């Protein structure tokens, strides 16, 4: 998704993003359960500085806040000001004091300047227009031994299962909701993009491990910096 589309699409989707995600990814596809699992792959986060790339409305924050504790810190980065406003609202409501929000491009992360102990990104990296640049910058920011865990879609259409057949409807819903661009829903392009992205991860991280969900359409990747 091009950078101007991130603002256009997500600024207007921000108000209903949580409700839509609860219904489509939570109740229908039952994928929300993998969020906590992905964050658990980051290991012990007590006192850690965690970067949440494409944090959106902050759906990871409740899980991260309890894991980093009072001495830790969460840096949430997103390019959509609308999504960040929703995240800020939750921070105010919950009274969280150790979350910093930064409006920045995930492919550059120029405004993240401190070393990072752990990085997560949920359903974001696959839509970043330059995935390879993003992963290289993430690896640069990580401290030696730092952990990385992401959950994403490697295919926009599963090879089997209900969603394979419901895919045309799912695609129309996401496009109509103004969330995904046609490019993000192109199966061949997404697979090729992640094949290149995994090449960067193999070069920059060690201990890479992959899991799959949603009949192979979704993947969770973990690794660490040597």
Ligand X SMILES: C[S@@+](CC[C@H](N)C(=O)[O-])C[C@H]1O[C@@H](n2cnc3c(N)ncnc32)[C@H](O)[C@@H]1O
- For ligand X, the binding residues in 19-48 under the rule CB under 6 A are 21
**Closer residue to ligand X (CB): 123 or 213:** 123
Contact flag: residue 56 with ligand X (CB under 6 A):
yes
Among 10, 61, 153, 194, binds ligand X (CB under 6 A): 10
Kindly report the backbone phi and psi dihedral angles of residue 219, in degrees, each rounded to the nearest multiple of 5, phi listed first. -140, 155
Contact 117, 174 (CB under 8 A): no
Residue nearest ligand X, Cβ-based: 56
Two structure tokens written together for 202: 């193999």
Q: Which is nearer to ligand X, 40 or 70 (CB)?
A: 40
Tokens 């109509």 sit at which residue?
Answer: 176
> How far, CA to CA in Å, does 156 sit from each of 80, 120, 180?
22, 21, 11
Stretch that binds ligand X, among 54-62, 163-171, 186-194, 197-205 (CB under 6 A): 54-62
Write down the least CB distance from residue 226 to ligand X, Å: 27
DSSP reduced 3-state for 73: strand
Report d(CA 153, CA 184) in Å as an integer: 10
CB of 58 to ligand X, least distance (A): 8
Using CB under 6 A as the binding rule, the residues of this chain from 58 to 117 that contact ligand X are 59, 78-80, 83, 105-107
Distance linking the first and last C-alpha atoms of the chain: 31
Q: Applying CB under 6 A, which of residues 54, 72, 126, 218 lies at the interface with ligand X? A: 54
C-alpha closest to that of 150 among 226, 209, 62: 209
The reply on whether position 51 binds ligand X by CB under 6 A is no
Q: Binding segment for ligand X among 3-11, 163-171, 197-205, 217-225 (CB under 6 A)?
A: 3-11
Q: How far apart are CA 121 and CA 223, in angstroms?
A: 13
Among 41, 48, 55, 201, binds ligand X (CB under 6 A): 55
Site for ligand X in 121-180 (CB under 6 A): 122-124, 127-128
Judged by the rule CB under 6 A, the positions of this chain that interact with ligand X are: 1, 3, 6, 10, 21, 54-56, 59, 78-80, 83, 105-107, 122-124, 127-128
């Amino acid at each position: 998704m091009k950078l101007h589309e991130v603002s256009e699409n997500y600024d207007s989707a921000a108000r209903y993003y949580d409700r839509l995600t609860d219904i489509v990814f939570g109740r229908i596809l039952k994928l929300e359960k993998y969020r906590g699992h992905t964050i658990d792959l980051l290991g012990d986060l007590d006192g850690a500085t965690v970067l949440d790339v494409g944090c959106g409305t902050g759906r990871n924050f409740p899980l991260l806040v309890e894991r980093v504790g009072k001495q830790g810190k969460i840096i949430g980065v997103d390019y959509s000001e609308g999504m960040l406003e929703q995240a800020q609202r939750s921070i105010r409501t919950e009274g969280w004091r150790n979350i910093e929000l930064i409006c920045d491009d995930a492919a550059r992360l120029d405004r993240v300047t401190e070393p990072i102990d752990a990085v997560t990104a949920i359903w974001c990296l696959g839509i970043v227009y330059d995935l390879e640049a993003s992963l290289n910058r993430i690896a640069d920011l990580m401290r030696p031994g730092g952990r990385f865990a992401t959950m994403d879609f490697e295919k926009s259409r599963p090879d089997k299962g209900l969603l394979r057949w419901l895919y045309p409807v799912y695609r129309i819903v996401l496009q109509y909701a103004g969330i995904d661009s046609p490019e993000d829903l192109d199966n061949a392009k997404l697979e090729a993009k992640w094949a290149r992205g995994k090449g960067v991860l193999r070069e920059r991280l060690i201990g890479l491990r992959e899991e799959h969900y949603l009949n192979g359409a979704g993947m969770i990747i973990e690794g660490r910096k040597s």
